[in-house]
Chain A
Amino acid sequence: MIDELPAEVRSVFPFAAHWVNVSGFNLHYVDEGPRSSDAVLLLHGNPTWSFLYRKVIPTVAAAGLRVIAPDFLGSGRSDHSQAEGEYQIAHHIGRTLSLLDAAGVNRLVVFCQDWGGPIGMGCGLARPGLLRGLGLGNTFWGEGSEFHRRVFPWRALHGPVVGDVLFNRRPVFVDGARLGMPPEVADDPVAQLAYRLPWKVHGSYLGTLAWPRAISLGPDHPTQPLADALWAALGSWDVPVRFVWGGADPVFPWTEQGERLWNRLPRGHEAEPLVVPDGRHFIQEYAPDEIAASMIDLATEGFS
């Protein structure tokens, strides 16, 4: 766990730290706004942390809503594990539910990006009635996209031996994350310090390697049962939905991933999706105001 953030990171991420111990791991989360059993949940992916939502959190909290942004195990200020098995998606879902229980949350609307999708939607699947609204941006349901199925430049990045060298011994993947961000963030030393901080403090980048290996590429993959269950459930989820999607993301293109989700969710077409033309993978860095507005809308509708 990271007790203290550097002053320059605190200057742009000034939120009080909240902690919960789940199965022996200290997990960090931001918890702003009134203490309510209804909350807006903001879920990050790989290789980021709640810092990704620093521009979304104040707007949502200022609207009088409770906003919770956790750091998953192996990310952000939370503990890291050296056991790859701890990073199975089912474990992330279980730990996130435990965190919400400890925070006293009974109902939520969630914004999911990257791995936040399978985990956030997985929480809804595991606990019917919890999820009252779904915000989606550059995410998926556990099955790999076309990008993930190609050997170059994705699968070759995390094969045997190579994965440990390029993700862990040389942090090529963490360094490359800035390619999915706008130039003003990619070249901002404070933002890049914050994004790299968890790995430098913990002395290991191993947690970032477990995520890509958890993307299902076939029926025998351990994540596939979750992906199948999510896809089946999404077809009948009666919750309001908003999309804020980066249209220039080769990992989760709108036309491949976004539209499939938009068409799958029964209430997907109640609102027009917002596709940001130059937005890449980390859509929170391109459209924080739009994400905040969407989540406020969802909360108004979902908690009424």
Chain B
Amino acid sequence: MSKPPLVPEEPVLVDENVLEEFHDAVRSLGSEWQAPSGRRYRLELLGRRLVVSWPPTETLSPAPSGDEVNEDLLAMGQAIYNARGGEWAAVRLDQLAAVWSGNNRRGATT
């Protein structure tokens, strides 16, 4: 019987500068969060440093592509914004990314 594949030990994402106004929202997701894809992520917030990693018990078979992980992370970001509430909860990240990608050239600039 084959062993389940090991998840990479390196973090999926490290955010070194999470502003205090978001700390409660990040903590509200818990120490483990499940994306709509079903994949689970571990969250550790130490001071302003947020580390997102794979739980040791997670099995990644088949291994997700970078785009799939990005979709999970954007969903995580959306969950944080929703937990933050107010105008943050009204943000739709897919729309935001489209504006900044130039799909709406009149919509924004840097």
Q: Judge whether B91 is part of the interface by a CB distance below 8 angstroms.
A: yes
Number of interface residues of A (CB under 8 A): 36
Q: With a CB–CB cut-off of 8 A, which chain A residues contact B97?
A: 166, 170, 172
Q: CA A179 – CA B107 in complex, angstroms? A: 9
Q: With a CB–CB cut-off of 8 A, which chain A residues contact B108?
A: 153, 176, 179, 250
Q: Judge whether A272 is part of the interface by a CB distance below 8 angstroms.
A: no
Q: Mark A124-166, 1 if CB is under 8 A from B, else 0.
A: 0000000000000000000000000001110011011111111
| Contacts A166-B100, A179-B109; A152 near B18 (Cβ below 8 A) | no
Q: Which residue of B lies closest to A217 (CB)?
A: B19
Q: CA A281 – CA B74 in complex, angstroms? A: 28
Q: With a CB–CB cut-off of 8 A, which chain B residues contact A170?
A: 70, 97
| Contacts A180-B110, A251-B110; A153 near B18 (Cβ below 8 A) | no
Q: Judge whether B10 is part of the interface by a CB distance below 8 angstroms.
A: no
Least distance between A86 CB and chain B CB atoms (Å):
11
Q: Judge whether A277 is part of the interface by a CB distance below 8 angstroms.
A: no
Are A85's CB and B22's CB within 8 A?
Answer: no
**Which of B1-9, B56-64, B75-83 makes up part of the contact surface?**
B75-83
| Contacts A172-B100, A176-B100, A178-B102; A156 near B93 (Cβ below 8 A) | yes
Which residues from 65 to 102 on chain B have a C-beta closer than 8 Å to any C-beta of chain A? 66, 70, 73-74, 76-77, 80-81, 87-88, 90-91, 93, 96-97, 99-102
CB < 8 Å A-B pair total = 110
Q: Which residue of A lies closest to B75 (CB)?
A: A161
Q: CA A173 – CA B77 in complex, angstroms? A: 17
Are B66's CB and A281's CB within 8 A?
Answer: no
Are A169's CB and B80's CB within 8 A?
Answer: no
24 pairs, A vs B, C-beta closer than 8 Å: A47-B110, A151-B88, A151-B91, A153-B96, A153-B100, A159-B22, A159-B80, A159-B81, A160-B50, A161-B13, A161-B77, A162-B77, A163-B15, A164-B15, A165-B73, A173-B100, A176-B108, A179-B110, A210-B17, A213-B19, A249-B109, A250-B108, A251-B110, A281-B109
